[in-house]
Structure 1
C-alpha cells in the first residue's frame, strides 16, 4: 500500500513540475528571446527486494530549453553580415546619389567641362568658347568644394555612429558579463540549468551580433 502511495506522490510531484513549466511557457509566449522549456522525466527504479518488478513511479529530472546552438550560431553570423552590408549599402547609396545624379551629379559637370575644352581647342580665338570653359571650370570647382564638405560631414557622421556603436557594445558586454556572473552563482549545486538567465544572455548576444 505504501509503495502505491509513494508512486502516486512521485507522479503528482513530477506532473506538478510539468504544469508549472507549461504555465511559465504560456506566460512568456510573447517574451522576446524566450526559449520554450520542457521537463525531462525518468522512471524511478523499485528498491531491491520484493516480488516482481513494478517500478517506483516517475520523477522530473531537469528542465531544458528548446535550443539549437548550431542554428543559433548560424543566425547570429548571418545577422552580423547582413547588418554590415546594410550599413555599407546605406553609405554607398548616399555617395552614389550625390556623385552620380544625372541632373546635378559630378559626371554631367565633368562632361560639360571637357566638352568646353574641346570647343576651345577647336577654335582657340573664340571668346564665347573661352568664357564657357571658364564658367564651367568655376562651376566644377564649386562642385568639388561642395562635395568635399559633404564628404567631410559624412565622415563625421560615420565617426559619431562608430562612437555610439562602441558605447552600445561596451554596454552589452557589461550586461553579458553580469548575466554570466549570475549564471555561475545560481548553477552551484543546482541540477536544473538557469534557463531564463541563459535566455537573457542569448538575447544580449543576439543584440550584439545585430
Structure 2
C-alpha cells in the first residue's frame, strides 16, 4: 500500500533529522562546530496518476549552517585583534620600563647635575668631588640597565617570532592535510562537515598569527595566501614561512615563503601577531635603542671634552670621566679610574676656581643631537621619549579595545548563525519526534485498514 510506503519515507526522514539534532546537541560545546540541518523534499507522484498526492519525502542533503562572509569577517578581525593585542602589550611593557625609577635617565641626570652644583660651594672638597664621580657611575649604570632591558625585550621579540613562525608552519601543514581529506571525501560522496569545521578552526587560528586570504576551489579545497598574495596552501600542498635574520641585527628578521622550489619575499607588515612583532621592533624599539645610544655617547663626549680643557688639583691636564664602546655606547658606558683629585674642575688648577665646573653644569641645558628627537638637552630627550611612549601606549590600548570589540561582534554574528542553540535543538527534538510518531500512526492506521479489507473476504 502506498500509504505505508509514504509513512516509511516520513519515518526515515524524521529519523535522519533526529540524528542530525542529536549530533548538534552532542557538539554544543565543541569549539568551531557548525550546526547541521537535514534538508528534505517531497517525492512526487506518478505522472500517469492524477489522483496521487505524492510518494512521501526524502532527505536530499545534510546542510552545514554557515556563511562564508561571516567566517572570513571573523578571520579578518582575528588578525586585527591579535595585531593590536601584541602591539599594546609591547608598548605597555616599554612604558613600564621607561617609567621605572631604576631606569629613569632623568633621575640620574638630575642627581649628577645636583652633585655638580653642590661642588660649586667648595670645588676643592674631596667628598664633593667624589660625589660627582659616584653620581656619574650611578648614571652610567642607569644607561646600562635601560639598555639591557630594551635588549632583553628585543631578544624576546625575536624568540616570539621564531615560535610564531613555527606555529604558523604547523597550521599550514594541517590545513593542507585537511584539504586533501576533504577532496578525497568529496570524490567518494561522503559528508565533510566535520572536516570543514576543522579547517575553518585551523584557518581561524592561523589568522591570529598573520592576515590571510582564502579562495574556495571546485574540488572542495581552499587556497590560502597572505594578504599580499604569496601562496601558503594550495590543495594538499603547504608552503613554509622562513625568518631570515638581519646580518646587522640577529634579533631582527625578514620573512619569506618557500613553496616547493620557489621562494617569495614578504614586504611590509603581515598583520596578526607576526606583524605586531615586526612593526613594534622597527617603529618603536629600535629607534629608542638608537636614541639612548646617542644620549650615552653625547653625555660622555660632552663631559670628557669639557674636562679636557681643565687642570686637576695635581696640576695635570684633565682626563676623561666616562668611557664607552662606540659600537654600543649605552651598554658599555662606564667611568674611568679617575680619582677625586684628578677631576679637572678649574682651567688653571686653582683649588677655588670652578670655571670648568660651571661649564660642566651648563651641559644640562646644552642641545645635543639625538636621533628621532632633534637637537635637545639630554633630559628633554629622555622626557620626550617617555611622553611619546605614554601617548603611543594609550593609542595602542584604545586601538586594541576597538579591534577586540569588532572581533567579538564578528564572533557573535558567526555564532548566532552557526553555533548550536540548546533551546532550538530541544524544539527540534519535539518536532521531529512528534512527526516520527505521527508517521508511525499512519502506518498503524494503514495496517488497520488493510486488516479491515481482508476481513471482507
Band of TM-score, shorter chain: 0.7 to 0.9
Structure 2, unpaired ranges of 5+: 209-457
Structure 2 equivalent of residue 151 of structure 1: 150
**Structure 1 pair 53–94 and aligned structure 2 pair: CA distance change class (3 A):** same
The residue matched to 2:97 in structure 1 has which SS?
A: helix
**Structure 1 pair 145–12 and aligned structure 2 pair: CA distance change class (3 A):** same
**Structure 1 pair 145–103 and aligned structure 2 pair: CA distance change class (3 A):** closer
**Structure 1 pair 126–48 and aligned structure 2 pair: CA distance change class (3 A):** farther
Distance 1:134 1:194 in 2: 75
Structure 1 equivalent of residue 176 of structure 2: 177
Report if the CA contact (8 A) 2:43-2:55 is conserved: yes
Distance 2:69 2:107 in 1: 51
User: Alpha-carbon deviation of 1:135?
Assistant: 2.9
Residue 209 of structure 1 pairs with residue 207 of structure 2: yes
Report if the CA contact (8 A) 1:80-1:209 is conserved: yes
**Structure 1 pair 129–121 and aligned structure 2 pair: CA distance change class (3 A):** closer
Report if the CA contact (8 A) 1:186-1:194 is conserved: yes
Q: Which moved more, 1:4-13 or 1:193-202?
A: 4-13
Report if the CA contact (8 A) 1:183-1:197 is conserved: yes
Q: Which has the higher helix share?
A: 1
Distance 1:126 1:45 in 2: 114
Residue 25 of structure 1 pairs with residue 24 of structure 2: yes
Q: Which has the higher strand share?
A: 2
**Structure 1 pair 58–167 and aligned structure 2 pair: CA distance change class (3 A):** same
Spell out the pairing of 1:5-154 with structure 2 (5 A cutoff). Answer: 5-102=4-101, 105-116=104-115, 119=117, 125=123, 127=125, 131-154=130-153
Report if the CA contact (8 A) 2:45-2:55 is conserved: yes
Report if the CA contact (8 A) 1:120-1:130 is conserved: no
User: Alpha-carbon deviation of 1:123?
Assistant: 6.8
Report if the CA contact (8 A) 2:102-2:142 is conserved: no
User: Alpha-carbon deviation of 1:75?
Assistant: 1.9
Q: May I ask how many residue pairs the two structures share in their alignment?
A: 207
Distance 1:28 1:97 in 2: 44
Report if the CA contact (8 A) 1:113-1:133 is conserved: yes
**Structure 1 pair 130–53 and aligned structure 2 pair: CA distance change class (3 A):** farther
Give the alignment's Cα RMSD to 1 decimal.
2.4
Instruction: Please list the CA deviations of residues 155-188 of structure 1 after superposition, one character each: whole Å capped at 9, or x if unmatched.
Output: 2222111111111111111111111100000001
Distance 2:105 2:67 in 1: 51
Structure showing greater radius of gyration is 2
Instruction: Please list the CA deviations of residues 57-90 of structure 1 after superposition, one character each: whole Å capped at 9, or x if unmatched.
Output: 1111111122122222222222222222222222
The normalised TM-score by structure 2 is: 0.42
User: Alpha-carbon deviation of 1:114?
Assistant: 4.6
User: Alpha-carbon deviation of 1:106?
Assistant: 2.7
Report if the CA contact (8 A) 1:100-1:107 is conserved: no
User: Alpha-carbon deviation of 1:116?
Assistant: 4.9
**Structure 1 pair 83–124 and aligned structure 2 pair: CA distance change class (3 A):** farther
The residue matched to 1:32 in structure 2 has which SS?
A: coil
The residue matched to 2:31 in structure 1 has which SS?
A: coil
Distance 1:86 1:45 in 2: 57
Structure 1 equivalent of residue 198 of structure 2: 200
